[in-house]
Structure 1
Amino acid sequence: MGGGTADPRRPEVSGPRAEYKLIAAQRPAGHVDFDSVVMEKLKLVDAGPEGFSQYELTIGNEFSNLNDVMHGGAAGVIFDMATTSALNPLSRPNFWFFMGGVTRTLNISYLRAVPIGTTVLLTSRVVQAGKTMAMIKGEMTSLDGKLVYATAEHHKVNVAMNDKHASFRLPWDDEIEAEAKKAEEEKKRNGGKAKL
């Protein structure tokens, strides 16, 4: 569909979302985070190792305004979560972990109203990801891509994940950390340069 090549079930793609759900499940009974509805309803369609993700999302009443269309503020949360997850395939320990980045700016251009009940396609691509800053572009379209409802440019700052969140472990965390350690050792052997 969108050109991704990574298996969406691979830990580096699905892991950060699974970790988010694990952390959210620790909240008190009845507690609903502002972004939890979005994370629950996003349906992963495609992802790529270069920093690409694609989701489907049905715009339900929980995202509406009084005009029975998607509220602009809801679009902000939707883009925040969907574009951030495009960093998942690039994530490794201390580098763009899903719960470790914060939004610096999120610019949205609203091009047309999204009627309640519409299923949209959210496509996000990482334009740049450095040690401390990243920029991701997102687009919300009809499923066939013919209608563009909104676009986003998301700038993020990489910050250390808080200790409580870091304490949650998933089965593949050890594998991912071992791969990162191996890559770091290889870099040291090559005089500080990553192997190409």
Structure 2
Amino acid sequence: MADGSGYPSDLLSVPGVAFDLKISDPAERIRAYIRGYVSPVSADGQDAMDDKLMRDQITLVSANSCKEKTMAVFLVKGGSNLSNRLGNLHGGAISLIYDMCTTMCAAPLAREGFWEFGGVSQNLSVTFLRPAKANRELLVECQVLKIGKRLVTIRGEMRDKITGTLLSVAEHTKATVSFVSSKAAL
């Protein structure tokens, strides 16, 4: 059964899926989303691919949202679960980090019937500039470039926390989805 937004209530009730619209403070809304990953929700009780990252390795540093700009900065603690055999973060892991961080950056803009959860990736483009060492702390700075009824585009930059060196940049376009029952489609 869907609520008035078109999203099925069973999907929106899964921790780590929907943004808590009752929370107006941008930083607190993102922190609440991260807390949704505290325990596994899969049927077999195992972590999903993003659970450990969200639960143990990403924290919010700051977030703000006003008419002109919505931004969020995240601290990411690298680890062997994200690394390749060279001791660097794997490109796929970096893409996952951007996927999660850019999605959360859009959370402050959500409201009832509008981007109630992060949607689905349409395009995620990452440009790798320098290796990101797996044992380092990283800062991921994200900014919503444009949000509309169906699409949002968010930019991200990953830097080494200690040196400030720019390691990679990303642009992520997400689409919101409207769930329609199969009967309505006929």
TM-score range, shorter chain: 0.7 to 0.9
Identity of aligned residues (%): 28
Unaligned runs of 5+ in 2: 1-24, 181-186
Change (3 A) 1:30 1:131: same
**Contact kept? 1:95, 1:131, Cα under 8 Å:** yes
Return the alpha-carbon distance in structure 1 between the equivalents of residues 43 and 176 of structure 2: 28
Alignment of 1:1-196 (within 5 A): 8-9=27-28, 12-18=29-35, 20-21=36-37, 25-40=40-55, 41-50=57-66, 51-99=70-118, 101-143=119-161, 146-160=164-178
Return the alpha-carbon distance in structure 2 between the equivalents of residues 54 and 157 of structure 1: 22
Compute the TM-score of the two structures, normalised by the length of structure 2. Answer: 0.74
Return the alpha-carbon distance in structure 1 between the equivalents of residues 64 and 136 of structure 2: 25
How far the C-alpha of 1:16 sits from its partner, in A, is 3.1
Compute the TM-score of the two structures, normalised by the length of structure 1. Answer: 0.71
Unaligned runs of 5+ in 1: 1-5, 163-196
Change (3 A) 1:37 1:161: farther
Q: Deviations over 1:88-128 (max 9, x none)?
A: 110112211234x0000000000010112110001100000
Return the alpha-carbon distance in structure 2 between the equivalents of residues 161 and 42 of structure 1: 30
Q: Deviations over 1:155-193 (max 9, x none)?
A: 00011479xxxxxxxxxxxxxxxxxxxxxxxxxxxxxxx
Return the alpha-carbon distance in structure 2 between the equivalents of residues 115 and 76 of structure 1: 15
Return the alpha-carbon distance in structure 2 between the equivalents of residues 35 and 71 of structure 1: 14
**Contact kept? 2:144, 2:155, Cα under 8 Å:** yes
Q: How many residues align?
A: 153
Partner SS for 1:66: coil
The one-letter amino acid paired with 1:151 is V
The one-letter amino acid paired with 2:27 is P
Q: Deviations over 1:37-62 (max 9, x none)?
A: 22112011000124211110111000
**Which has the larger share of helix?**
1
Partner SS for 2:75: strand
1:165 alignment partner in structure 2: none
Return the alpha-carbon distance in structure 1 between the equivalents of residues 26 and 147 of structure 2: 21
Partner SS for 2:175: strand
**Contact kept? 2:150, 2:175, Cα under 8 Å:** yes
Which has the higher Rg, Structure 1 or Structure 2?
Answer: 1
Cα-Cα RMSD: 2.3
Return the alpha-carbon distance in structure 2 between the equivalents of residues 7 and 137 of structure 1: 17
The one-letter amino acid paired with 2:73 is Q
Return the alpha-carbon distance in structure 2 between the equivalents of residues 77 and 62 of structure 1: 12
Return the alpha-carbon distance in structure 2 between the equivalents of residues 155 and 145 of structure 1: 29
Partner SS for 2:85: coil
